[in-house]
Each structure stands twice: as structure tokens, then as C-alpha cells.
Amino acid sequence: MSKKKKQENVEKEYRKKLIKRRKPNRSIAGDIFLYLFLILVAYIMAFPIIYAVNAALKPLDELFMFPPKIYAQNPTFDNFSDLFVTMGKSWVTFSRYLFNTVFITAVGTGGCLVVASMGAFVLAKYEFPGGKTFFKLVTVAMMFSFYVTAIPNYLIINFFGWVDTYWAIVVPAFAMPMGLFLMKQFMEGLPTSLIEAAKIDGANEWRVFSGIVMPNVKPAWMTLIIFSVQALWNNKASTFIYSEERKTLVYALQQIQSGGIARTGQGAAVLVVVMVVPIAIFIFSESQILETMASSGLKD
């Protein structure tokens, strides 16, 4: 082995050591403890969901086995197909319920995206009287839970004649305070020079908004979409909608779920169907959501 090579080897090892060096202020014991602790907690957190999925996969004899087993031994999709059979027996077809929910979710989310971003754009990038006050109102409104405003909301929706139509759910969803809030915080991070450059090139406000701002805040879109979908998909809307053919999927599913002990398996299947959509969306858009949430802080 030549001298040169040896030297290179030493250098390589040295570099390796440098890279491998641990972060400052971290002890090995602490790290091991941290991993063990996190694994334990993660298992506890995930357990009810794992259990629900397993219950949905269990065949009938396992569901009522004693002593009960947590994990399904012979997983089947019978519960899901039974669910469709039960749904098929009601005079409103499954596809209609699905259409209702998809329609409400899609229109509500789309509308919210456009309406909230338009508002957020001017709040973030322009100074005008009343803008700051309005934004403060929005942050306060984030605290309202559904029931606090439910009664007057009903009266207002009744005034417009929207009771028992999709609009009763869709239109209020446009003004989700969370949507505007996240959009505005994220848009503040956009460089103002970008907008000014576009204006010098002769773009009008609408062009700036649709051509420059919106394509640049795509991560915020995803975040708004997941919050909105999550709210609308889980929306039972039982206060506003009573016609069977306009009920949402979740509402119909929960009617099956409350069918007692004979529907145990189907009930678990319902749980899985309801939760799978928001979780799937979250998994696919996690990095974008985290990017947006980084600007979510409330400054005073």
C-alpha cells in the first residue's frame, strides 16, 4: 500500500467520524430512552385504530369469540360487502349517499379555496383600513365551535330557504376561519417584489392573484383542502338535512352503526370507511401541510 493511499484512508475515516458525530447536547442514554418511550406511546395511540381495523376484518365467529382476540385470525372483507348489502336494501342507494358527501365536500372545499384565498391575498399583501381588524375577528372566530353558533345559523339558513338543501352545509363552509388564517399567514411569506414585478409588466390585480400568487402557494392549498375535507367529510349535518336522499354518507353509515349487536362487524367497517379518507389525504400531502403549518404562528 502506498503512502498516499494510506493518507487518503485516514482522511476518509476522519471525515466519517465528523459526519457521524452526534448532535451537541444529546446523551446516548437519553436517545435510547426517547426511542423506547416514543415507540410505547405510538403503540398506545395507534391501538384503538388498529383495533377498529381488525374488528372490521373479523368474520362473524371471531367477533363474538370468548375470550376475544384483538387481531383478526382469518381476515375477510365480508363486513364491507355486508355493509353494501345493507345499504342496498334502503330505498336510497349507496351511490346516492356517496354522491351527496362527495358533492358537498368537493364544492365546499373548492369554494373555500377560491373565496378564502382571495380574501387572504389582499389581507396579506395590501394595507387598507379595516383589514387588520377583520383579520383579528377571524382569529377570534377560529374558537367558535359548531354548537355555539348553531341556533342563529339555523335561523339564518332558514331565512335564505336553504334548510334541507346542500347549500346549508356548502355555503357556510366557504368562510371557514381556519382556511383564511392559514392562507394569509402563508402568503405573507411570498416576496412582495414578485407582485410588484408582475404589476410593472402590466398585469392587473386578478392576473396577479390567479397567475402569480395562487401557483406559488400550492402547499397552502393542500393544507386548506385537508382541513376542509376533514370537516365536511365528517359532517353529519343532521340539523340541516332531513330528507333521506340528501343525507351524507357519514350520517347514513352511523344509522347502520347504531343498529345494535347484530351490526357489530358492519359498525366497525363503517368506522374504517369514515376514517380512511382524511387519513389517506393526510398521508399523501404531509410534507406540504407541514410546510404551511410552519407559518401558522399567531403574532400579536
Partner 1 sequence: MKEYFSKYLMLRKHNMKVAWKKAKRSKMCYLFLAPYAIIFTLFNILPVVTSICFSFTYYNILEPPRFIGLQNYISLILQDDVFLTGIKNTFMIAVITGPLGYIMSFLFAWLINELPRWVRSVAVIIFYAPSIAGNCYVIFSVFFRGDAYGYVNAFLMNLGLIDAPILWFINPTYMLPICMVVILWMSLGTGFLSFVAGLQGVDRSQFEAGYMDGIKNRWQELWYITLPNMKPMLMFGAVMAITQSFGVCDVTMALCGYPSTDYAARTIVTHLFDYGFSRFEMGYASAIATILFLMMILCNKAIQSMLRRVGT
Q: How far is CA 255 from the centre of its chain?
A: 24
Shortest separation between residue 98's beta carbon and partner 1, angstroms: 15
Shortest separation between residue 32's beta carbon and partner 1, angstroms: 12
Q: Which residues contact 269 (CB under 8 A, 6 or more apart)?
A: 56, 79, 80, 82, 83
Among residues 18, 139, 83, the alpha carbon closest in space to that of 255 is found at: 83
Kindly state the cell numbers that stand for 209.
392573484
Nearer to partner 1, 22 or 89 (CB): 22
In this structure, what DSSP letter does residue 166 have? T
What distance in Å separates the CA atoms of residue 70 and residue 90, rounded to the nearest whole number? 32
Nearer to partner 1, 209 or 221 (CB): 209
Nearer to partner 1, 96 or 199 (CB): 199
**3-state class of 254 per DSSP?**
helix
Shortest separation between residue 103's beta carbon and partner 1, angstroms: 19
Shortest separation between residue 41's beta carbon and partner 1, angstroms: 7
Shortest separation between residue 102's beta carbon and partner 1, angstroms: 16
Nearer to partner 1, 76 or 239 (CB): 239
What distance in Å separates the CA atoms of residue 191 and residue 214, rounded to the nearest whole number? 13
Nearer to partner 1, 87 or 219 (CB): 219
Sign of CA dihedral 17, 22, 25, 29: negative
Q: Is there a contact between 265 and 60 (Cβ–Cβ < 8 Å)?
A: yes
Nearer to partner 1, 243 or 287 (CB): 287
Residue whose entry in the numeric block shows the C-alpha cell 365551535: 145
Among residues 51, 106, 44, the alpha carbon closest in space to that of 275 is found at: 51
Sign of CA dihedral 118, 121, 124, 126: negative
Shortest separation between residue 185's beta carbon and partner 1, angstroms: 9
